[in-house]
Amino acid sequence: MNLLLKQSLMTAAGIIALAIGTGGCSDKGTEKKAEPALNASNMDTIVKAGDDFYRFANGTWLKNNPIPAEYSRYGAFEVLEEGNYNQLKTILADASADKNAAAGSVNQKIRDFYNSGMDTIKIDKDGISPLKAELDQINAFETAADVQKMLILQHASGNYPLFYLYSAPDEKNSNMVIANTFQGGLGLPDRDYYLGEDARSKEIRASYLKHMAKMFVLAGSTPEQAAKDVDVVMKIETSLAKISSARVDLRDPVKNYNKTDLAGLQKMAPGIDWKAYFEGIKLTTTNEINIGQPKFITGMAAMINTIPVSDWKVYFRWDLINSAASALSSDFDKEHFAFYGTVLSGAKEQRPRWKRMIDQTSSSLGEAVGQLYVQKFFPPEAKKRMIELVSNLKVSLGERIAGLKWMSDATKKEAEAKLAKINVKIGYPDKWIDYSNLTIGTDSYYANLKNARQFEVNRNITKIGKPVDRSEWNMTPQTVNAYYSPNMNEIVFPAAILQPPFFFMDADDAVNYGAIGMVISHEMTHGFDDQGRQYDKEGNLHDWWLADDSKNFEAKTKVLVDQYDNYKILDSLHVDGKLTLGENIADLGGMNVAYNGLQKALAGKNKDEKIDGFTPDQRFFLSYAQVWRANTRDEETMRRLKEDVHSPAETRVNAIVYNIPAFYTAFNIKPGDKRYIAPENRADIW
């Protein structure tokens, strides 16, 4: 699955990740030497802690680690991912050389998938021919009914022109899986790129047109024809952009919950024969569908019959080529990267192919690779240590809730019940996905990709209309990330994040509480952020708050929204306080809860005892700051400000710590320091 699709579906399914997936990666700059848990040589102590804590903690590292060509951002996450690539490489190298793997075994599938993707001689020779059958079908369109038929065929195979269809728990009956639609159909990552009149949006639109034209020519069009075709695509996508919801509205669970049945959907969006659609995608087991964005579905379905069939041919052709590009010959692959990697994110060079194939194998055969990964690299002691940390931090959040002055006892009781019910998953799933129905061969990389996609679609469709399987994971164990799921009311920590600089087996408590402790607390706080608080302890979208408490909460979060709205990045741009609110609440709450947890862990110990010259409190804040150290290209910063619900790395540090009283004491911050915030103006929620 490509990154955009993956992120769209994760957002759609309400999965709230710790950080957005990283873009490019490199085999340069790997930190191999064992570093101390807290590396003081990364700091820049010429900067005052009260002026810019992010640079005080990371300044020297930032100066000494320019972004490698393949990256759009390079920081602690990417350094850890580098190490991860090297671990996965040993697994894939073993698998790819295993001549004796039994036919149909997981090892055979991993081997053949990876090797077929590495066989660039064959892939280059094949050119665009893997798409021939589908392109011929598109070419044969004569009526709007043909367009719809193709839409169904594509969706049935796991490619999603125009909109997404996916399975997820019913937001108001979280034990049952239902079908959901989500807006889509755009080649650019956000609707604002089509509608914005700012210079960056205009520049991206112009580059997108050029890129499309090049791709059409590679696919066999004349330059004259390509020049006409790009306007057709742009017109259709712009129409879709106009009926799409803004990202801020996609974060509102109430707005995006519009459950209906087949008859209701047919009335809402008569442009499509929905009975035929669901039969075509082999979904006849359910009559409950949540329409994420009704305005979009209505408008999109109407377009099927009002836009000329000749234009749809062009659009579907583009969708197919664009979604397959990185799996085709190197001319397509390179041009695809030139736009999505370089223009949108600023990466100068494409990652080496072996890494991209690790990513793809890791995505298509996620839990098969994951199983080998945890066997080889995940120490059981790490899980034990994590269980301890999580239970300490649950107590801490409970204490914080009990002590809140702005919340009534009745709502507190509900909040505490929700906290007590949070389920915790650490490392890897108890039950692995069974890949025996997935066929992977040596013939064609594209065919392997399609088979893997089909396998995933079948798995998803089968879930609909059945009870939720609570043992499932939404991230693979080899993913450097973590998430909270509001419908499951659970926090999940894949094995790969349980490594430095997030998790240290042997470091002092202060460092671990500032990093993984904060990550754990951050994920728990998501259950109580502006989005998560709208779900009850069973994971149902249901208001359990007294009206006054909601009012107080909103007033409290407004302080945070305003602070972030005023946070300038790249001179004149600023963070979107509303778009990033959930993450910012989780960062602030996460730090308060983790700090409270640390104080408990230090009880009875000498709180002034220094390690490498720093007290435990100082190490706690420094550890937090070092997790977010990152250099980011301007293009990537601009992209993330628009698309990412997480604030930029620098902001995750500087917009948080100056709200926390203990930070002032730890570093002796005084009025007059640049980022000093008077106590009455500080944000404080959880």
Which residues, 6+ apart, have CB-to-CB distance to 481 below 8 Å? 17, 18, 19, 21, 475, 494, 496, 497
In the complex, the smallest distance separating the C-beta of residue 529 from Zn ion, rounded to whole angstroms, is 8
In the complex, the smallest distance separating the C-beta of residue 172 from Zn ion, rounded to whole angstroms, is 23
Does 233 interact with Zn ion (rule: CB under 5 A)?
A: no
Nearer to Zn ion, 155 or 425 (CB): 425
303-317 b/e with 16+ CB inside 10 Å = b? bbeebeeebbbbbbb
Nearer to Zn ion, 586 or 657 (CB): 586
Tell me which residues in 15-34 interact with Zn ion (CB under 5 A): 18
Encoding tokens for residue 418?
Answer: 């929700």
Does 357 interact with Zn ion (rule: CB under 5 A)?
A: no
Rounded to 5 degrees, what are φ and ψ at 483? -155, 160
- How crowded is the C-beta side of 545, counted as CA atoms within 13 Å? 19
Of 233, 269, 464, 586, the residue at the interface with Zn ion (CB under 5 A) is: 586
Nearer to Zn ion, 108 or 580 (CB): 580
Does 591 interact with Zn ion (rule: CB under 5 A)?
A: no
Does 365 interact with Zn ion (rule: CB under 5 A)?
A: no
Tell me which residues in 509-538 interact with Zn ion (CB under 5 A): none
Does 165 interact with Zn ion (rule: CB under 5 A)?
A: no
In the complex, the smallest distance separating the C-beta of residue 522 from Zn ion, rounded to whole angstroms, is 6
In the complex, the smallest distance separating the C-beta of residue 483 from Zn ion, rounded to whole angstroms, is 7
Residues facing residue 611 across a β-bridge: 614
Does 440 interact with Zn ion (rule: CB under 5 A)?
A: no
Rounded Cα distance, 361 and 383, in Å: 26
Residues facing residue 631 across a β-bridge: 74
Nearer to Zn ion, 365 or 586 (CB): 586
Does 593 interact with Zn ion (rule: CB under 5 A)?
A: no
- 10 Å CB burial of residue 122 (0-12, 13-18, 19+) is middle
Total binding residues toward Zn ion, as defined by CB under 5 A: 3
Nearer to Zn ion, 18 or 156 (CB): 18
Does 301 interact with Zn ion (rule: CB under 5 A)?
A: no
Alpha-carbon radius of gyration of the chain? 25
Of the candidate spans 94-102, 283-291, 584-592, 628-636, the one that interacts with Zn ion by CB under 5 A turns out to be 584-592
With beta carbons less than 8 A apart as the criterion, state whether 491 and 523 touch. yes
Give the count of beta carbons closer than 10 Å to the beta carbon of residue 109.
26
Rounded Cα distance, 684 and 666, in Å: 18
Give the count of beta carbons closer than 10 Å to the beta carbon of residue 41.
9
Does 641 interact with Zn ion (rule: CB under 5 A)?
A: no
Of the candidate spans 12-20, 95-103, 368-376, 506-514, the one that interacts with Zn ion by CB under 5 A turns out to be 12-20
In the complex, the smallest distance separating the C-beta of residue 581 from Zn ion, rounded to whole angstroms, is 11
Alpha helices in 52-131 (DSSP H): 53-64, 76-96, 106-118, 120-126
Does 162 interact with Zn ion (rule: CB under 5 A)?
A: no
In the complex, the smallest distance separating the C-beta of residue 654 from Zn ion, rounded to whole angstroms, is 18
Tell me which residues in 184-213 interact with Zn ion (CB under 5 A): none
Of the candidate spans 185-193, 578-586, 592-600, 653-661, the one that interacts with Zn ion by CB under 5 A turns out to be 578-586
Amino acid in the structure at residue 137: Q
Nearer to Zn ion, 289 or 581 (CB): 581
Does 328 interact with Zn ion (rule: CB under 5 A)?
A: no
Does 491 interact with Zn ion (rule: CB under 5 A)?
A: no
With beta carbons less than 8 A apart as the criterion, state whether 497 and 84 touch. no
Rounded Cα distance, 270 and 266, in Å: 5
Does 368 interact with Zn ion (rule: CB under 5 A)?
A: no
| Binding footprint of Zn ion on the chain (CB under 5 A) | 18, 583, 586
